[in-house]
Structure 1
Amino acid sequence: MAYDAVLVMSFGGPEGPDDVMPFLENVVRGRGVPRERLLAVAEHYLHFGGVSPINQQCRDLIDALREDFAANGVDLPIYWGNRNWHPMMADTFAQMRADGIQNALGFATSAYGGYSSCRQYWEDIAKATEAVGEGAPRVHKLRQFWDHPGFVAPHADALRDALATLDPARRDTTRIVFTAHSIPTSMAATAGPSGGRYEAQLHETATLVADGLDLPWDLVWQSRSGPPQVPWLEPDVNDHLTALAEKGVTDVVVSPIGFVSDHLEVVWDLDNEAKETAASLGLGYARAGTPGHDPRYVAMVRELVLERLASSDEGAPFTVPQPVCVSAPAQRLGNLPVWDYCAVDCCRPPARPSSR
């Protein structure tokens, strides 16, 4: 199979006040989320002028990728399509078709397995393909990368840099708090050959990022949404900070290993809400950064592309992928199975209960 482009696939975000509500309506379409909840979330975006950092972070990543590809002889154009805001995936597919692109590799800006972080990108590809129709480019998503050194190392260095800002005299009562986006417990428990791995992969990433630091750590959750009667992964980071303070912890360094860049759910939930919680509790607080467009992360994307190119059969037809376990990926640090393609029954979304 010959590939002729790379597609960066991301969540998308508003880029002005007038974008905020239409964007949020795209995000929750069909979920029955009350408008009052959307208005509350909209205030988080409006706090930053209605602009989410995520789109600019994607632009920065793509610029860095183009430089890296050119410097390393990877002659593939790079496109960008979002799930929830412009550039929308279907529009990008139409542009790719107009440019003569036939077979592309899709890089999703999410490191982990699960419905929203992996399977839904396959659904995005299918919807864009259907919308564009005949001649739409065919896209295969690259594998998950939670344990790739290009993802782990930037998180590890950012953790150490943040830790260095805290009082070393209180190191014995300092704790690391890793965070990731909470999801419904029913989604976390999804069956299937590559389903139900979200928590396990995050625990492995946390172990790798904290390696060499003689400090206790916890994995907790942030950014939950949906009806309060639906169970989501807990504890929430703010509740956890309260519990730590009650146990005598004096300082925390919060590392958002569930994220690849400092988009709105990081800068609002951690740099505002969690930071305010820590201050109210008298906790010393530092927040570690994310990979963003760190050169090692950028090189990781190239390595994932080359890994797939090396394993593809130039003469094979482009077909719907079947579930394949990657037995020997080129770069990895962990021990959990790495899945190249998900099975059709993997990581399905949970049934959506009524919010009434």
Structure 2
Amino acid sequence: MPKRAVLLLAHGTPETIEEIPDYLRNVVSGRPLPAQVIEEIKHRYSLIGHSPLTEITLAQGRLVEAELVAEGIDAQVYVGMRNWKPYIPDVVRKMRVDGVTQTAVICLAPQNSRTSVGLYKRAVQAEAGSVKVDFTEAWAQDPLLADAFAERLRTAQTRMIQETGAPVQVLFTAHSVPSRTVEVTAATEGQPKLWPGEGADPYAEEAKRTAELVAERVPEIPKWWFAFQSQGASGGPWIGPTVEETLTAIASEGVTTVLLQPIGFLCDHVEILYDIDIAFKAFAGNLGIRLERPESLNASPTLARAIAGLAKRGLSRLEE
């Protein structure tokens, strides 16, 4: 009998401010970063105290395992991080030691991009050895994912209606990526593909499609917008529009209250707790806009069901 498992992959986060330089070297694959960039990241982490990404992701793994057990599926759930502990290679090696022979792998970045899914997949395959792997390429349009975000958004809208007397406009966001990673260029044509169908990177369209699916489930939204957040400090352009540009446009229409919901993040971490809760709130306030956000998915039972469903389908494909 094959021993089956599920492997969830996430970005990773340092546990202390002192670990940030080493962490950032992992993020940029060892390329040097200016000292002021490192100090700025340290400052952001100091303002939020701690990024809970790792512990929340581990908790999500336990919820997913409980969903699978409830359906009679015997498959331990492991969690691996690309840029910090527990590192993906270490976790895959542990799975081999534990006797795992088949694993359904799910990247907790639902929208498919070479800056996320392709790199995560390559990290797993490099250590898989004899372990048979099913890798979920993307799940941006998963109905339960949209349901999970919509549940959080509907709760926030209810609160805002009670406070303001009417539904408020919504700004959906996803993490920006460097423009060079989502464009087909002469340098990328003919190169080995990281995933089937790679060409024009689908990330931007998949992020917008997730937003559309969430908005469809909350029809009381009077109007919604979409922007890319958290553009990095590396050289070259990043995809937009930015949150700052979009908030400025929203303010020009006389809007005074906005709900911002990131639909590319599945839990609280620095891009939510600092970028949104501190930086974007301050930017919006200077424009005369009150900016609030729904609760992050974190321990959402609907999210756990969504991921468990992906895992079940992946495990089924391994039996074909």
- For Structure 1 versus Structure 2, the TM-score category normalised by the shorter chain is 0.7 to 0.9
Instruction: Report the secondary structure of 1:165's partner residue.
Output: helix
Answer 1 or 2: which has greater helix percent: 2
User: 1:222 — aligned with what?
Assistant: 229
* Deviations, residues 203-235 of structure 1 (Å, cap 9, x unaligned): 21111111123421111011111335x121122
* Deviations, residues 144-194 of structure 1 (Å, cap 9, x unaligned): 11111221011112112222333565748x421111101122322347724
The alignment status of 1:183 with 2:177, answered yes or no, reads yes
Instruction: Report the secondary structure of 2:172's partner residue.
Output: strand
The alignment status of 1:158 with 2:158, answered yes or no, reads no
The alignment status of 1:204 with 2:209, answered yes or no, reads yes
Which amino acid is the alignment partner of residue 45 of structure 2? Answer: Y
Write the mapping of 1:249-328 to structure 2, written as runs, cut at 5 A.
Answer: 249-314=255-320
**TM-fit CA distance, 1:312:** 3.7
> What is the alpha-carbon distance in structure 2 between the residues aligned to residue 140 and residue 214 of structure 1?
38
Cα pair 2:20 2:38 within 8 Å, conserved: no
Task: Indicate how the Cα distance of structure 1 residues 18 and 30 shifts in structure 2: closer, same or farther if over 3 A, else same.
Answer: closer
Which amino acid is the alignment partner of residue 193 of structure 1? Answer: G
* Deviations, residues 292-338 of structure 1 (Å, cap 9, x unaligned): 23111111122112223333445xxxxxxxxxxxxxxxxxxxxxxxx
Of 30-39 and 290-299, more deviation after overlay is shown by 30-39
**TM-fit CA distance, 1:136:** 5.9
Instruction: Report the secondary structure of 1:47's partner residue.
Output: helix
Which amino acid is the alignment partner of residue 197 of structure 1? Answer: P
User: 1:44 — aligned with what?
Assistant: 44
Cα pair 2:102 2:318 within 8 Å, conserved: no
**TM-fit CA distance, 1:3:** 6.2
Cα pair 2:107 2:136 within 8 Å, conserved: yes
User: 1:55 — aligned with what?
Assistant: 54
User: 2:93 — aligned with what?
Assistant: 94
**TM-fit CA distance, 1:18:** 2.7
Task: Indicate how the Cα distance of structure 1 residues 243 and 231 shifts in structure 2: closer, same or farther if over 3 A, else same.
Answer: same
Cα pair 1:106 1:139 within 8 Å, conserved: yes
TM-score (norm 1): 0.79
Instruction: Report the secondary structure of 2:225's partner residue.
Output: strand
Cα pair 2:135 2:314 within 8 Å, conserved: no
User: 2:136 — aligned with what?
Assistant: 142
Of 176-185 and 192-201, more deviation after overlay is shown by 192-201
Which amino acid is the alignment partner of residue 158 of structure 2? Answer: A
> What is the alpha-carbon distance in structure 2 between the residues aligned to residue 309 and residue 89 of structure 1?
19
**TM-fit CA distance, 1:138:** 4.2
> What is the alpha-carbon distance in structure 2 between the residues aligned to residue 262 and residue 203 of structure 1?
21
User: 1:28 — aligned with what?
Assistant: 28
Which amino acid is the alignment partner of residue 255 of structure 1? Answer: Q
Write the mapping of 1:128-139 to structure 2, written as runs, cut at 5 A.
Answer: 128-129=127-128, 137-139=131-133
Which amino acid is the alignment partner of residue 137 of structure 1? Answer: V
User: 1:329 — aligned with what?
Assistant: none
The alignment status of 1:193 with 2:197, answered yes or no, reads yes
* Deviations, residues 97-149 of structure 1 (Å, cap 9, x unaligned): 211112211111110111122111112113444xxxxx563433223111112
> What is the alpha-carbon distance in structure 1 between the residues aligned to residue 57 and residue 164 of structure 2?
39
State percent identity of aligned pairs: 28
Cα pair 2:25 2:31 within 8 Å, conserved: no
Segments of structure 2 that go 5 or more residues without pairing to the other structure are 190-195
Segments of structure 1 that go 5 or more residues without pairing to the other structure are 130-134, 315-356
Instruction: Report the secondary structure of 2:141's partner residue.
Output: coil
Q: How large is the Cα RMSD of the aligned pairs? A: 2.3
TM-score (norm 2): 0.88
Cα pair 1:12 1:55 within 8 Å, conserved: yes
* Deviations, residues 32-55 of structure 1 (Å, cap 9, x unaligned): 432321221122122233x32100
Task: Indicate how the Cα distance of structure 1 residues 169 and 46 shifts in structure 2: closer, same or farther if over 3 A, else same.
Answer: closer
**TM-fit CA distance, 1:284:** 2.2
Task: Indicate how the Cα distance of structure 1 residues 98 and 309 shifts in structure 2: closer, same or farther if over 3 A, else same.
Answer: closer
**Given the alignment, which residue of 228, 234, 250 partners 2:240?**
234
Which amino acid is the alignment partner of residue 297 of structure 2? Answer: P
> What is the alpha-carbon distance in structure 2 between the residues aligned to residue 28 and residue 108 of structure 1?
19
